């Protein structure tokens, strides 16, 4: 839409008409100060026939239009775009996702198909990321080592794309939970956000890394970093395996250290969740939305673009168009200058050559 920043300037629009009505015309001189040898030609031109009168009204219309354009330019018109939500500083939230070899176990169902754990984590975490409007999000991937995949950013789309690019074994086949917590705490240490949160997802125990998970959790707690831990893996179930013993009970989550994850969450004021299936993991993210509510979208801005130069440019073009024909028509020619007669002091006539 178009809006005018100074609409009150429009009150001067009738100013030329008021001046013409209120001010007395200038007095005509009693006698001419100059003797013009071509006065008769000038007088003939001054007679208004129909064509002259039409040109007069055309000129008045152009002058009126020019004045209106100048007034419009003075009101400073501008184009105002659609409102855009400002990214509000809600909380800094890091996702630490296990990409070790055990995440390849296909014990989850996604849309009726058997998939591995990482595929389900990607699908559910992606929806969670999309809902976190106003938060700065980051991504930490860990296996035998931990590294920062995505720094803290308001760009949720980039975080989702970087999560989608994660592959099993990218950081090694083992699980360094302590290193992942330490790296996340280091990234959140200098944050100015009031709420700093880490969501850690793993399906195993701490089997690698140089940092003890509980010591890393204590360090995170001293930095006011809250950690929510999620244990991923289905329950024990009867699976037919080709052995001499026949059908056996196999627990896909036998390596999951739930006690460690509970201790980490308790130390930092967070909570521990157990994801046994896709629906359970989705429900965990909904609970996290309630525990860590996002900031309300209450601040907007509208992009603005100045438009005053369009009416101003049109007014200048009209002024040029009105003045150019008159200047061209009344320009002195060399032949006319050569034939101009000048009366001297003694009455003699001289001619320029």
Q: Which residues of the chain have pLDDT under 70?
A: 26-52, 84-90, 236-251, 294-301, 325-353
Domains parsed from the chain with CATH numbers: 2-24+35-81+304-351 (no CATH), 92-296 (3.40.50.410)
Residue with tokens 């917590």: 181
Q: Which residues contact 317 (CB under 8 A, 6 or more apart)?
A: none
Q: DSSP 3-state assignment of 21?
A: helix
Say what the pLDDT of residue 322 is: 79
pLDDT at 19: 84
Task: Write out pLDDT tens, residues 308-332.
Answer: 889 999 989 888 887 776 666 655 5
Tell me what pLDDT residue 271 has.
Answer: 92
Q: What is the DSSP letter of 82?
A: -
How much is the pLDDT for 344?
A: 47
Q: Could you give the CA distance from residue 183 to residue 152 in angstroms, rounded to a whole number?
A: 13
pTM, rounded to two decimals: 0.59
The per-residue pLDDT of the chain, averaged, comes to 80
Q: What are phi and psi of 199, to 5 degrees?
A: -110, 115
d(Cα 1, Cα 77) in Å, to the nearest integer? 10
Contact 35, 343 (CB under 8 A): yes
End-to-end CA distance of the chain: 65
Q: What is the pLDDT of residue 239?
A: 47
pLDDT of residue 352: 46
The pLDDT value recorded for residue 236 is: 59
**pLDDT at residue number 323:** 74
The HSE-up count of residue 348 (CA atoms within 13 Å, CB side) is 3
CA 132 from chain center: how many Å?
Answer: 17
If one counts every other C-beta atom within 10 angstroms of the C-beta of residue 6, the result is 10
| Predicted pLDDT at 333 | 53
């Amino acid at each position: 839409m178009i809006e005018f920043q100074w609409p009150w300037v429009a009150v001067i629009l009738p100013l030329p008409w008021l001046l013409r009505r209120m001010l007395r015309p200038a007095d005509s001189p009693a006698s001419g100060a100059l003797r013009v040898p071509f006065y008769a030609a000038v007088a003939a031109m001054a007679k208004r026939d129909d064509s002259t009168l039409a040109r007069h009204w055309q000129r008045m219309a152009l002058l009126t239009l020019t004045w209106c354009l100048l007034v419009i330019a003075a009101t400073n018109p501008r184009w105002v775009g659609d409102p855009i939500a400002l990214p509000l500083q809600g909380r800094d939230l890091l996702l630490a996702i296990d990409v070790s070899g055990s995440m390849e176990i296909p014990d989850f169902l996604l849309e009726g198909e058997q998939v591995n754990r990482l595929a389900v984590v990607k699908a559910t975490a992606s929806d969670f990321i999309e809902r976190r409007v106003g938060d700065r999000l980051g991504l930490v991937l860990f296996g035998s080592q931990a590294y920062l995949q995505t720094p803290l950013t308001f760009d949720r789309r980039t975080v989702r794309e970087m999560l989608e690019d994660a592959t099993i074994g990218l950081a090694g086949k083992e699980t360094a939970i302590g290193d992942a917590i330490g790296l996340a705490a280091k990234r959140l240490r200098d944050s100015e956000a009031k709420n700093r949160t880490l969501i850690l997802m793993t399906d195993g125990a701490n089997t690698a890394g140089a940092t003890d998970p509980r010591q890393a959790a204590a360090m995170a707690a001293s930095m006011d970093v809250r950690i929510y831990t999620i244990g991923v893996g289905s329950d024990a179930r009867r699976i037919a395996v080709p052995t001499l013993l026949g059908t056996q009970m196999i627990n896909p989550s036998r390596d999951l250290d739930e006690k460690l994850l509970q201790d980490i969450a308790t130390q930092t004021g967070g909570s521990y969740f157990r994801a046994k299936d896709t629906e359970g993991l989705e429900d965990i993210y909904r609970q996290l939305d309630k525990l860590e509510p996002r900031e309300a979208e209450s601040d907007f801005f509208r992009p603005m673009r100045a438009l005053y130069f369009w009416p101003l440019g049109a007014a200048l073009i009209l002024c040029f168009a009105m003045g150019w024909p008159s200047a061209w028509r009344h320009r002195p020619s060399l032949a006319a200058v050569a034939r101009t007669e000048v009366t001297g002091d003694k009455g003699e006539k001289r001619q320029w050559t």
